[in-house]
Amino acid sequence: MTVIQVLPPAPPRRGVSFDRWQFAGRTARASSARSGISHADFASMHVHRHSAGAPHRNDYSWAHNDATVREVLAAMLSKSLYVRIQPTLEDIRFADKLFETKGQRLFERFHKYWLRHRVVPSWYGVESMRPYDQAKLAGGLSKFFLGILYRTTRLKLESVTVAEAMQCTPQVVRRVLDKMHHVAKDLAAGTCRFPKRTVADETAKQEHLAKYLPKPPKKPMKQPVFVPNPTGLCMCNCGQMTERIKQNEKWKGRIKGEFSMFCPGHVSRVKKPTGRPKKAAVAA
């Protein structure tokens, strides 16, 4: 005979208890009530807590001293032009003239490239020309630097407002201001480096400026002239018909829709050889 013993239900627990063997497995881990991350994960984590402090801002007190601003401006011009510029009015005017001359030389190079290849310069060439355009709109490189510094430090304007006034981008305003601040710190610490090239007198300035002045062309450029070919016959007297020009090429003297002067490869039959003349055979 089987005896079945019926036990009464267990009394309810008053509080929440923790069983140390409940989380013995690897899949179940105890978690923190504050963060919700398991204690085992906290052991392999890098936790760094810091209190919220005041935002870091640069001290532009040097910008309210005219003598310091003049020295910083001369250092910025020296680094931009790769020549030592003294903090005097004559040298600053010379720096503006030198910067403008370099911009004109670079523009002429791009213009010649356009006339030769009829292709816009690369992205690097366009970006290298942009500082010259911005300084030209401001009236010079020194006025461009001083305009940004004066509006941001003394008038307390934002970079967007300054960029609209200087006709540039807010990124350029912040970059120029940061460079000037670092130059001021280096000048105060005595660690600012200057270019070795110097221009002491007026003669040296004019000689250095003449290196970047545009030089006159050695030979005048020949302007291509369109030669009409109404019959459409090749001008090498081969009797073949030429093709019509499909695209305007004025720098070659070709007009769209007109007959070409020669068939492909027949121009060499008319042009004179440009190589070195052959030696005449010596009779034995």
> For residue range 210-247, what is the model confidence (pLDDT) as tens digits?
888 877 766 666 677 788 888 888 888 888 889 888 88
Residues 144, 135: contact at Cβ < 8 Å? yes
Q: Would the pTM count as exceeding 0.85?
A: no
Integer Cα distance of 270 and 263 in angstroms: 12
> If you average pLDDT over residues 46-58, what whole number do you get?
64
Q: Are residues 124 and 247 in the same domain?
A: no
pLDDT of the residue at 272 = 63
Integer Cα distance of 105 and 98 in angstroms: 11
Q: Are residues 228 and 201 in the same domain?
A: no
| 190 φψ region: left (φ > 0), alpha (ψ -120 to 50), beta (else) | left
CB environment 188-200: b (16+ within 10 A), e (fewer): eeeebeeeeeebe
In the predicted model, is pLDDT for residue 18 greater than 60? no
Q: Are residues 235 and 99 in the same domain?
A: no
| 152 φψ region: left (φ > 0), alpha (ψ -120 to 50), beta (else) | alpha
> Residue 256 domain-assigned?
yes
pLDDT of the residue at 275 = 55
Q: Are residues 92 and 195 in the same domain?
A: yes
> Residue 140 domain-assigned?
yes
74-96 pLDDT, tens per residue? 999 999 999 999 999 999 999 99
pLDDT of the residue at 284 = 44
> If you average pLDDT over residues 37-42, what whole number do you get?
64
Q: Are residues 196 and 65 in the same domain?
A: yes
Q: How many structural domains does the chain have?
A: 2
Mean pLDDT is highest, among 43-47, 118-122, 148-152, 235-239, for 148-152
Last residue of a domain, one of 210, 244, 261: 210
Phi and psi, residue 85, nearest 5°: -115, 125
Write the DSSP string, 119-177: ----HHHHHHHHHHHHHHHHTSHHHHHHHHHIIIIIS---HHHHHHHHTS-HHHHHHHH
Q: Are residues 89 and 173 in the same domain?
A: yes
Integer Cα distance of 33 and 23 in angstroms: 15
> Residue 201 domain-assigned?
yes
Residue 138's CB is within 10 A of a number of other CB atoms, namely 19
132-174 pLDDT, tens per residue? 888 888 999 999 999 999 999 999 898 999 999 998 989 999 9
pLDDT of the residue at 44 = 65
Q: Are residues 96 and 183 in the same domain?
A: yes
Integer Cα distance of 268 and 273 in angstroms: 8
Which range, of 33-37, 190-194, 241-245, averages the lowest pLDDT?
33-37
pLDDT of the residue at 1 = 58
> Which residues, at least 6 apart from 269, have a Cβ–Cβ distance to it below 8 Å?
236, 238
pLDDT of the residue at 94 = 94
Q: How confident is the model at residue 254 (pLDDT cuts 50, 70, 90)?
A: confident
Residues 39, 31: contact at Cβ < 8 Å? yes
Q: How far is CA 88 from CA 74, 133, 245, in A?
A: 8, 25, 61
Q: Are residues 149 and 110 in the same domain?
A: yes
Alpha helix stretches (DSSP H) within the chain: 39-43, 66-81, 89-117, 123-138, 141-149, 159-166, 170-189, 202-210
Residues 153, 139: contact at Cβ < 8 Å? no
Q: Are residues 151 and 237 in the same domain?
A: no
**Strand, helix or coil for residue 259:** strand
The mean of the pLDDT values for the chain is 80
Q: Are residues 157 and 230 in the same domain?
A: no
Q: Are residues 138 and 114 in the same domain?
A: yes
Alpha helix stretches (DSSP H) within 4-65: 39-43
For residue 185, the Cα-to-chain-centroid distance in whole angstroms is 25
Q: Are residues 151 and 251 in the same domain?
A: no
Residues 199, 84: contact at Cβ < 8 Å? yes
For residue 26, the Cα-to-chain-centroid distance in whole angstroms is 55
Structural domain harbouring 187: 61-210
> Residue 44 domain-assigned?
no
Integer Cα distance of 167 and 164 in angstroms: 5
